[in-house]
C-alpha cells in the first residue's frame, strides 16, 4: 500500500476536505474550512517526493519533472477519489489532495434550491456554476449530471482537469475526458465534442477566450452546456464572460449570452453553527426577459435588482439566503458577515471570534 494512503485514511476518518503534504512541514488537514496540523514530524523533501512518486503514473511523473507541477486523480480502492496538485516550492516539494467521494450526492442531499433541478432539465443553453475555490462547484455539477443521467437518454461528455467524480452509464452514455491525458486543452476537447453527437457537455473550467467562445457557441447550437467560473456572484460571472472578449466583439457576445444563458448558480460554503458540517449558500439568477435585456444593454449592475424581484421564478440573492440561515440558526453571524455582499447589513450579527485548535466534522459532502 502506498505510504500516503495512511494520511488519506486519516483525512477520510476525520471528515476533512484536503490533505496538505509540504516538505519542511508536518502534514496538515483542512476541517470545516480551516487547516489543522497532524501529530507527525516535519516531512523532508525526499520523503514527500517519494510519497508522490509511489502513486504517480509514468506520464504524470514525466509532466511533473518537465513542468514543475501537475494535476492528477488518485483513488483509494473504492473508498474515495482525490484530486491531486503536486508542485515544487521554495523548500522542496508539496502536494494537496482534495477529497472526492465515490458516490455522487443528490441535489436534495446537498439541500440545494429546487429551481436548480428545473435548470438541469433544460434541453439546451448554458448553465454556469460559480464561486471561489472550495465552494462546492464540482459537487453541484456532479449532482446535476447525475440527475440528467437518470432522467434523459442521451450522450453526456465531461471535460475535466483532472476527472473527479466518475459517472457510470445509467439512462445516458457518459464519455469523460481528462486534460493532459485524453486531450491537450479544454478548447481542443470542445472542438472535438461538437462532432461527437453530444446532448450535454460539462466544461470543468471556462478559463480562456477560446473555451468560453466555444461553450457559448455549443449552447447556441442546441446543446446543454454546464460550466464553472471562479467568480463571486451572478453579475460578476456575466461580466467575466463579456470582458474576456475584445471590445469590438462585446455587443455580439452580449446578444449571444442573452439568448443562450439558462441561469447562473453562485455558491459559498458556510460552517454550520454547531461546528459539525458545512452548508451551501446559493444565489440563483434565471434568464428571463428582464435579464436578457440587461445583458444586451450591458447594464449588468442591474442584475442584482432582477434577482431580488425574481423570487417567484426561483431566484434568490446571497444576502437573502444568509438572513434566512441566521433566522433558522443554521449559521453564526460571523459566517454570514464573511460572505455577505452588503457587509453593513450584517455588521450587527458579528460576534467575538473564539479560536479552537481542534475541529470535528461528521459530514462534508461538498468538494471543489
More confident residue, 90 or 140: 140
User: What distances in angstroms separate CA 187 from CA 6, 10, 55, 195, one per listed residue?
Assistant: 38, 38, 29, 13
Residue 355 has pLDDT above 80, yes or no: no
Residue 366 has pLDDT above 60, yes or no: no
CA distance 185 to 352: 47
* Complete edge-to-edge strand list for the sheet that includes strand 80-89: 34-37, 28-31, 18-22, 92-101, 80-89, 69-76
What are the structural domains of the chain?
A: 4-101 (3.30.450.90), 114-349 (3.40.50.300)
Residue 71 has pLDDT above 50, yes or no: yes
CA distance 45 to 23: 5
Q: Pairing mode, if any, of strands 80-89 and 92-101?
A: antiparallel
Residue 36 backbone phi and psi in degrees, to 5: -130, 140
Instruction: Check residue 107 and give its pLDDT.
Output: 95
Instruction: Check residue 266 and give its pLDDT.
Output: 97
The gap between the terminal CA atoms of the chain, to the nearest Å, is: 26
Instruction: Check residue 358 and give its pLDDT.
Output: 45
**pLDDT, tens digit (0-9, with 9 covering 90-100), for 129-141:** 999 988 999 999 9
Residue 82 has pLDDT above 70, yes or no: yes
Per-residue confidence band for 343, with pLDDT thresholds at 50, 70 and 90: very high
HEC profile for 207-248? CCHHHHHHHHHHHHCCCEEEEEECCCCHHHHHHHHHHCCCHH
More confident residue, 220 or 77: 220
Q: What is the mean pLDDT of residues 78-104?
A: 91
Would you give the DSSP letter of residue 302? G
Q: Name the percent of the chain in helix, strand, coil, to the closest 5.
A: 40, 25, 35
CA distance 228 to 237: 9
Instruction: Check residue 359 and give its pLDDT.
Output: 42
Residue 361 has pLDDT above 60, yes or no: no
Residue 363 has pLDDT above 90, yes or no: no
Residue 367 has pLDDT above 60, yes or no: no
Per-residue confidence band for 353, with pLDDT thresholds at 50, 70 and 90: low
**pLDDT, tens digit (0-9, with 9 covering 90-100), for 309-335:** 999 999 999 999 999 999 999 999 999
**In 10 A of CB 161, how many CB atoms?**
21
CA distance 97 to 157: 25
pTM above 0.85, yes or no: yes
Per the prediction, the chain carries an average pLDDT of: 92
Instruction: Check residue 180 and give its pLDDT.
Output: 84
Instruction: Check residue 296 and give its pLDDT.
Output: 95
- Paired strand residues for 283: 266
Cell of 283: 444565489
Per-residue confidence band for 91, with pLDDT thresholds at 50, 70 and 90: confident
Would you give the DSSP letter of residue 311? G
**In 10 A of CB 114, how many CB atoms?**
9
* Complete edge-to-edge strand list for the sheet that includes strand 173-178: 173-178, 155-160, 200-203, 224-229, 125-130, 261-271, 278-286
Share of the chain above pLDDT 70, in %: 96
Residue identified by cell 494512503 is 5
Residue 102 has pLDDT above 50, yes or no: yes
Residue 365 has pLDDT above 60, yes or no: no
Per-residue confidence band for 268, with pLDDT thresholds at 50, 70 and 90: very high
CA distance 228 to 36: 29
Instruction: Check residue 267 and give its pLDDT.
Output: 96
Amino acid at each position: 500500500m502506498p505510504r500516503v494512503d495512511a494520511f488519506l485514511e486519516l483525512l477520510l476518518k476525520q471528515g476533512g476536505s484536503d490533505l496538505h503534504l509540504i516538505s519542511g512541514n508536518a502534514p496538515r488537514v483542512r476541517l470545516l474550512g480551516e487547516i489543522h496540523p497532524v501529530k507527525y514530524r516535519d516531512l523532508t523533501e525526499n520523503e514527500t517526493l517519494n510519497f508522490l512518486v509511489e502513486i504517480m503514473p509514468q506520464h504524470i511523473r514525466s509532466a511533473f519533472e518537465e513542468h514543475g507541477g501537475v494535476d492528477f486523480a488518485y483513488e483509494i480502492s473504492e473508498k474515495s477519489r482525490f484530486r491531486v496538485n503536486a508542485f515544487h516550492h521554495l523548500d522542496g516539494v508539496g502536494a494537496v489532495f482534495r477529497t472526492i467521494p465515490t458516490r455522487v450526492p443528490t441535489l436534495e442531499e446537498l439541500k440545494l434550491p429546487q429551481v436548480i433541478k428545473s435548470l438541469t432539465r433544460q434541453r439546451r443553453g448554458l448553465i454556469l456554476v460559480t464561486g471561489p475555490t472550495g465552494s462546492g462547484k464540482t459537487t453541484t455539477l456532479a449532482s446535476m449530471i447525475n440527475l440528467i443521467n437518470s432522467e434523459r437518454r442521451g450522450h453526456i461528455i465531461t471535460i475535466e482537469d483532472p476527472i473527479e467524480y466518475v459517472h457510470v452509464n445509467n439512462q445516458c452514455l457518459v464519455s469523460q475526458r481528462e486534460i493532459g491525458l485524453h486531450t491537450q486543452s479544454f478548447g481542443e476537447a470542445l472542438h472535438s465534442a461538437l462532432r461527437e453527437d453530444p446532448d450535454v457537455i460539462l466544461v470543468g473550467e471556462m478559463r480562456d477566450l477560446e473555451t468560453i467562445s466555444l461553450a457559448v457557441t455549443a449552447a447556441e447550437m442546441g446543446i446543454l452546456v454546464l460550466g464553472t467560473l471562479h467568480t463571486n456572484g451572478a453579475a460578476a460571472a456575466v461580466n467575466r464572460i463579456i470582458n474576456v472578449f475584445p471590445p469590438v466583439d462585446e455587443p455580439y457576445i452580449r446578444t449571444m449570452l442573452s439568448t443562450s444563458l439558462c441561469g447562473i448558480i453562485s455558491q459559498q460554503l458556510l460552517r454550520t453553527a454547531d461546528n459539525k458540517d458545512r452548508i451551501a449558500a446559493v444565489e440563483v439568477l434565471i434568464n428571463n426577459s428582464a435579464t436578457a435585456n440587461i445583458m444586451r444593454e450591458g447594464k449588468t449592475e442591474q442584475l442584482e435588482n432582477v434577482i431580488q424581484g425574481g423570487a417567484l421564478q426561483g431566484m434568490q440573492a446571497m444576502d437573502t439566503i444568509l438572513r434566512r440561515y441566521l433566522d433558522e440558526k443554521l449559521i453564526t453571524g460571523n459566517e454570514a458577515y464573511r460572505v455577505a455582499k452588503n457587509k453593513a447589513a450584517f455588521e450587527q450579527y458579528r460576534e467575538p471570534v473564539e479560536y479552537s485548535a481542534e475541529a470535528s466534522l461528521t459530514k462534508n459532502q461538498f468538494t471543489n
